[in-house]
Chains A and B, each alone.
Chain A
Amino acid sequence: MSDLNKRMIEEYRNDFLKEVEANVEEGEWVKMCMQCGVCSGSCPLGKHWAHPPQEIFMMIRAGKRDEVLTSDSMWMCTSCYNCIVRCPRQLPITHIMHGLATYSKKLGLVPKGQPTATFAEIFWNNMMKKGRVNELKLGLALYFKDGFGPGIKEALRNKDLGTKMMKAKRMSPAEFFGGHGIKDVSGLQKMIKKAQELEEARMKKFD
C-alpha cells in the first residue's frame, strides 16, 4: 500500500476526498460536512488538538493528504460521541475519526510514539496471542514500552494498584507464564487473517 504515499495531490481537487471515500470507514460522509464547526465546539478535547474534526474534514477536501494522515488528531478522539449527537448533518464523526486512524496506521503514517497508537498495537498483539487479553502482560508491556529503566520506574509507581488488583483477583501473577486463552486460538488467528486479506483487497489503489 505504501506506494499510495508517493502520489502528488493537487490541492482543492477531489483526489484525496475520493481516496478517503474509498478507503476510510464512513469516509463517504466527509463531503457532506457543511463546516459549521459544531463538532469542534462540542468536542471536549478539540481545542487541545492540532486539527479538530471540522478542520480535518476541510483539510481532506483541500487535498492535504500528508498533513491529515500523519496528524495525531484522530488518535486523540475519546469516542465520547458528543459530536455525532450534535452534527446538524448527522455525520458519523467519531467513526470517521477512527477510520482515519486505522487508514493512517495501514499506510504506516502514524506519528512515532503516538501513545494511543502504541497502546492500540500492544493491545492488539496481546489479544491476538491467546484470543483473550492478558491483563498482566498488557500492563507490563505498557510500562516497558519506552525501555527497561522507565519501565521499572513506572512499575514501582503503580505497584500498590497492582497489589490491590491481585488481592481482588482482578489480575493473577500466574498469567505471566502462558496465561489463559480461548479454545481455538489458531482458528481465530486464521479468521482474522482472512478478514484482513478481504479488507486489503477492497482497498482502492490510487496512482
Chain B
Amino acid sequence: MSDEKKFAAYICTGCGIGDRLDAGQLENVATREGRMNVVKQHEMLCSKEGVKMIQDDIDNDGVTHVVIAACSRRAKMEAFAFPQTEVAITRANLREGVIWARPDTDEAKETTQEMAEDYIRMSCGEIKQMNPPKPSGQQGRNPNVLVVGGGVTGMTAALEAADAGYTVHLVEKTGALGGHVAKLHKRVPFRAAPPGTPNTPDANLPMPEDTGIEELIKRVEENDSIKVYLNSRITKTSGAPGRFSVDISAESGDTVTENIGSIVQATGFTLYDPSELKEFNYAGSPDVVTNLEFEELTNAAGDGPIKRPSDGKEVKAVVFVQDVGQNSDEEGKLPYDSGVGDLVAIKQALYCKHHNGDDCDTTIVYNNLRTPGAPGEDFYRSGQKNGVIFTKGDVKEVIPGDTLTVKMHDKILDEDADVHADLVVLDVGMVPNSGPDPYAANESLEGMSDEERAEELEAQAEAAAAEEAGGPSVSVESILNLDYRQGTDLPQLKWGFTDSHFICFPYETRRTGIYAAGPVRRPMDIKQAMDDATGAAMKAIQEIENAAQGRAAHPRVGDLSYPTFRKEGCTQCKRCTVECPFGAIDEDEERYPQYNESRCRRCGTCMGACPVRVISFENYSVNTVGAQIKECSIPEEWDEKPRILVLACENDAYPALDQAAIAGEEISPWARVIPVRCLGSVSLSWVTDSLNNGFDGIIMMGCKRGDDYQCHFVRGSAMANERMAKVGDTLESLNLEPERVVVHEVAITDIERVPALIKDMEETIEKIGLSPFKF
C-alpha cells in the first residue's frame, strides 16, 4: 500500500434507495462537496458484482478510503468486510437511517433527500479523517493459560484448555488439588430423573452421588500439558493478554516467572463464619456445625452412623437451619443468597437417612426452598420420598444442651415451635475469594469536583506507596497482584463478586484476558461451576488468539484499531489512566500514559476524557466525529428546518434506531445521527462545536449506567454522564437554553421510545425557538 490516499464513495440504489432518493444528486454531492476521487452507483452493492466493483477499485485503482452509502453499518457486515489494515471504511446509512425512517410521501420527499445528502457529506468528511488501523505488534501468540485455583472449577478449566491444545499453568495455594469438593462426602446429583418418572411416593429419584474429584485430580496430574504448582501464589502479574509475565512463588520462597497468554481466575469461595450470629450458638455448642463441617462428620463416620461431635452419640434427630446470615440487609450478614444451600441440606439429610437409618429424623427449616438446576425438583422429591421433613420457618434461637432445642416460628402453621435435635446444621453462604476491590476507595470519588478528585487520587497513591514501603498491610490478600495502574485485582461488581457484563458476557471481567469462573463470579454449585469453567477456558483461548492478531475482545470483537496519544500535547493530567474502565493504561517512567493494546476494549472512554484531545484511534477520533458535525448542512434560520444532533451509542442506541426504522417508526427529518463507540468516548468539544455550528438540539443516547448497568464498557456511560454535568456551563456561556442538550439511557429494545425522544427534542425546539448560531 502506497502512502497515496484515494477516496471513493459507492452509492447503492438497491433496496428501494434508488426509488426514494435522487441518486444522481447524491453522486453530485459526493463529488463536488465531498470531493471524492471516485464516485460510483450500483443497483445492489452488497451483491457479488457490487462488492467486486469495490474490490477491483482497491486492487487496481489504488482506492484506500471507502464510503459505502447503502444500508446501516450493522447490515451486510460480511459483504463489506474489506481488509481492515488496507482500507479505511465508513458507511452512510441511507436505508435504515433515511428511507425506512421517513414516510414515502410527496411532502416528505424534499426533507428525505436532504437527510440523505447530509449523510453523504458527513461520511465524506469523516473518511478523510480516517486511516486504516495498524495493530501495535506489542504481543505475539502466547499459548499459555494461567489458571489460578485448583478446585473443581480451576481443574475443569485447565483440562478444557489443555484438551484444546494449550499449555496450562495451574496454581493452587494449598498443598493439594481439589478445593472444597475434595472435602465433600458426596455431591448433589447432576442429572434429573428420566422423563416420564411418575410423581408417586415410590418413584425412582436421584440420590447423592460420588463427587468424582479423585478422577478429576488424576486427569489433571496425568495431563502433560498441565503444570501444577502447589503451595503457590501469584506474587506479580504484569503485561497484557498475549504477554503477561507472571511470578509464581512457592511457600518455600522459590519464584518462577512464566510468560502467559491469558488467565482464568477460579479462586472460589470461603464459607461465611456464623460465629458472630449469637442466636445460633455456633460458638456455644460443638453440636452446632456448618454445612461443610457436616460433610467432614459424615466422612468420619465411614460406613457407620454419623456421630455428634460433643460426646460421639449416634445422631437420631438433625435440624438443618437454612439461609443462616444470608439474604439480609443487616450489618455483618450476606445481602444475597447462595442459592445452593437447600440442595446441600437435602443431600445431607439423605446422608443421615443412609448412615443412621430411616428412623433418624431430619427436619429442614427453610425460608424459600430453592432447588436450582436440572435435577433440583427431582432431588427435592427424593428428599421428601425418603422422609425428610421440610418446614417453612424462621429459626429464632438454638439453645445448647444435651438435646439441642431449635426455637422457631412455623410460617405455614403460623405458630412457634420447639424442635429437639442431637445436631444442628447451619446453612452458611458462599463469600467470593476475589481479593481486594481496586475501586473500593474510588467510590468516594463520585460526585467530587476535578480538583478534589485529583487531590484524593494523589492521596491514595501516596498511601499506597507508603504501604508498599512497609506501612500497614491490606486486610484482604491480593490474588493476582497485577501491577496495573488501576489496582491489583479484578474489579468487583456487587457484594464482592468479580465484575462482568452479566447480560451479554458473563465471563468477561473488567481486565481483558482475565476471566473469572465459578463461585468467585456468583454463588453456584459443582455442576454450574464446571460449565462455567468450560466457558471461561474458551474465552481464555479466544483471547490468546485475539491478542496474537491485535484484535479486540468483546464487544468490538476483531477491531484492529487502538488508541494512541500525542505525547507533545499531553499534560499528564492522568484522566485517561484513571478513567479507562479496563485499566488498560499504565504510566511510563516519565509519567506519560502507556497504552496496552491487548488490554484495551476500544471504547474510546480515554479519548472522551482527555481535556486536551490528544488521544485518538486511526479510524475514530475527535476529528472523525468533528468532521461529520462540520459537514452537516445547517439551513438558514428562515428555512425553519432545525437540526438535531444524535450521538448514539453503537451498541444499543444505534441498533434501536435501525430497528425503529425497520418497524416502520418515523424518525424526525431534522435528526442527524452519528454513531459513537460508547457515550464515554464523547468529547465535550463535539457538543460545543455543534452548538457553535448552529445545531438546535443535541441528544446523547447511551446504555444504562449504575449498579445494574448495561453499558458494554461498564463505566463509559457513567463517565459520560459525569462529564456532561459540565455542559451546563458551556450552554450558559453561549447564552443557550439548557434543554438543548439531553442525555438518555436507551436499551436495544426501546424501538418505540427512541424516535419519541427525538420527537420530544423537536417539540422542545419548537417551543424555545431555533438556535441563534446559524450562519
Contact = CB atoms under 8 A, between A and B. Distances in A.
Interface in A49-80: 54-55, 58-59, 61-62, 64
B774 interface: no
Contacts of B412: 35, 54-55, 58
Nearest to A63: B389
A55 B413 contact: yes
A99 to B, nearest CB: 14
B361 A12 contact: yes
Contacts of B384: 31-32, 34
A89 B381 CA distance: 9
B415 to A, nearest CB: 9
A64 to B, nearest CB: 8
A13 B387 CA distance: 10
B413 A12 contact: no
Interface in B358-417: 359, 361, 363, 380-381, 384-385, 387, 389-392, 410, 412-413, 417
B122 interface: no
Nearest to B201: A28
A14 interface: yes
Nearest to B414: A55
B385 A32 contact: yes
Contacts of A13: 317, 361, 363, 389
B270 interface: no
B410 A62 contact: yes
B327 interface: no
Chain B interface helix/strand/loop/mixed: strand
Interface in A1-60: 10-14, 17-18, 28-29, 31-32, 34-35, 54-55, 58-59
Contacts of A125: none
A20 B391 CA distance: 18
Contact of A14 (B359, B385, B390, B419): B359
B371 to A, nearest CB: 10
Most buried by A among B381, B385, B412: B412
A31 to B, nearest CB: 5
B199 interface: yes
A10 B406 CA distance: 13
Nearest to B369: A34
A158 interface: no
A31 B201 contact: yes
B389 A17 contact: yes
Contacts of B387: 14, 17-18, 31
B759 interface: no
Interface residues of B, number: 24
B418 interface: yes
Contacts of B410: 58, 62
B503 to A, nearest CB: 31
A34 B370 CA distance: 12
Given A13-B317, A61-B391, A32 B201 contact: yes
Interface residues of A, number: 22
A90 interface: yes
A27 B387 CA distance: 13
A12 B199 contact: no
A54 B390 CA distance: 13
Given A12-B363, A14-B359, A35 B390 contact: yes
Nearest to A27: B201
Interface string B635-673: 000000000000000000000000000000000000000
Contacts of A59: 413
Contacts of B575: none
Nearest to A59: B413
Contacts of A31: 201, 384-385, 387
B199 A90 contact: yes
Nearest to B361: A13
B556 interface: no
Contacts of A90: 199
8 contacts: A10-B317, A10-B420, A12-B319, A18-B387, A34-B390, A35-B412, A58-B410, A61-B391
Interface of B: 199, 201-202, 317, 319, 359, 361, 363, 380-381, 384-385, 387, 389-392, 410, 412-413, 417-420
Given A58-B413, A62-B417, 9 more contacts: A11-B418, A12-B389, A14-B359, A14-B387, A32-B201, A55-B413, A62-B413, A64-B413, A90-B199
**Which 5 pairs of residues, A with B, have the shortest CB-CB distance?**
A90-B199, A13-B361, A12-B419, A12-B363, A58-B412
